[in-house]
Amino acid sequence: MKPIKRNALFSTIAFGATITVNALANILPINGLNTGEVSALYPSLFTPAGITFSIWSVIYLLLLGYVILQWLKSDAYVFAETAKLFWLSCLLNCCWIVAWHYLKVSISVTLMLLLLLTLAQLFLKVRKISMNSAAEKIFVRLPFTIYFAWICVATIANISAFLVSIGWPALNIAPATWTIVMMAIAALLGIFVTTKYRVAPFAIVIAWALFGIYIKWSGTVNEIIAYAALVLLIITAGAAFNTWRRLRFAVL
């Protein structure tokens, strides 16, 4: 079997395993708890509204395109550079699900950080590789940009859940204040990456997460969080638009 097809086969298996594990996590569910029920055990003001997690559908559809493209493209370079890291990201994704569902929160944080580092490497690789076709930009560059951005948010949420699990007092900082600090970190990261690498979708994902936090707490006793999320959302979305404008409205 040619290397390009072998990579395609392994990518198909890795992606299929990831989808299967994530589906079974909620269908079975693993350890008798679905993913949302585990999150509810570690309540955090940073966790966005449930609708926000629909971004996983976008991520997985784009990754499916990445896998399919490997079977269709004869040029092996772009996939030779990214395939192994993609397989590792799939493995870490599956392991995280298992750790999370079995309430091994500290292990889940370690796995999430490893996934974050893996996706950071993928993000940097796809930024450096020259891609001339629209298909490669959409199904190679875009999925790992969105995936990386979302895992940045997920990492903050995972660390927050871990701190809740150990009863960390956050240096006597009020929970709402601590949440605003975490949102500000996410927004600054989104602005930094978007500006440095000129990649608007990254900031858009961060803005989407902030929107989820806004709609969750708007009109509640934690409305100060909603207001802060709205302000940070506008700033982050503005950075995305400004980058997009400078690129003359090119998506990637």
Host domain of residue 229 = 169-252
**Top-confidence residue, 5 or 27:** 27
**Residue 169 to residue 102: CA distance in whole angstroms:** 24
**Top-confidence residue, 60 or 72:** 60
Q: What is the pLDDT of residue 170?
A: 65
Q: Mind listing the pLDDT tens digit for each residue in 149-171?
A: 999 999 999 999 999 999 887 66
Answer yes or no: do 62 and 140 share one domain. Answer: yes
Residue 152 within any structural domain of the chain:
no
Residue 161 within any structural domain of the chain:
no
The mean predicted confidence, pLDDT, of the chain is 94
Answer yes or no: do 187 and 225 share one domain. Answer: yes
As for how many domains the chain has, the answer is 2
Residue 114 within any structural domain of the chain:
yes
Q: Both tokens of residue 131?
A: 């891609």
Confidence of residue 70 (pLDDT cuts 50, 70, 90): very high
Answer yes or no: do 19 and 100 share one domain. Answer: yes
- End residue of a domain, out of 109, 144, 179: 144
Q: Mind listing the pLDDT tens digit for each residue in 3-18?
A: 668 899 999 999 999 9
Answer yes or no: do 134 and 212 share one domain. Answer: no
* % of the chain residues with pLDDT over 70: 94
- End residue of a domain, out of 127, 144, 161: 144
Residue 135 within any structural domain of the chain:
yes
Answer yes or no: do 100 and 182 share one domain. Answer: no
Distances (CA, A) of 203 to 73, 179, 200, 211, 237: 30, 19, 6, 12, 6
- End residue of a domain, out of 93, 111, 144: 144
91 Cα distance to chain centroid: 15
What is the 3 state secondary structure string of the chain? CCHHHHHHHHHHHHHHHHHHHHHHHHHCCHHHCCHHHHHHHCCCCCCCCHHHHHHHHHHHHHHHHHHHHHHHCCCCHHHHHHHHHHHHHHHHHHHHHHHHHCCCHHHHHHHHHHHHHHHHHHHHHHHHCCCCCHHHHHHHHHHHHHHHHHHHHHHHHHHHHHHHHCCCCHHHCCHHHHHHHHHHHHHHHHHHHHHHHCCHHHHHHHHHHHHHHHHHHCCCCCHHHHHHHHHHHHHHHHHHHHHHHHCCCCCC
**Top-confidence residue, 221 or 130:** 221
Average pLDDT over residues 181-193: 98
Answer yes or no: do 105 and 181 share one domain. Answer: no
Residue 33 within any structural domain of the chain:
yes
Residue 29 within any structural domain of the chain:
yes
Answer yes or no: do 129 and 232 share one domain. Answer: no
Average pLDDT over residues 177-187: 97
Answer yes or no: do 1 and 42 share one domain. Answer: yes
156 Cα distance to chain centroid: 11
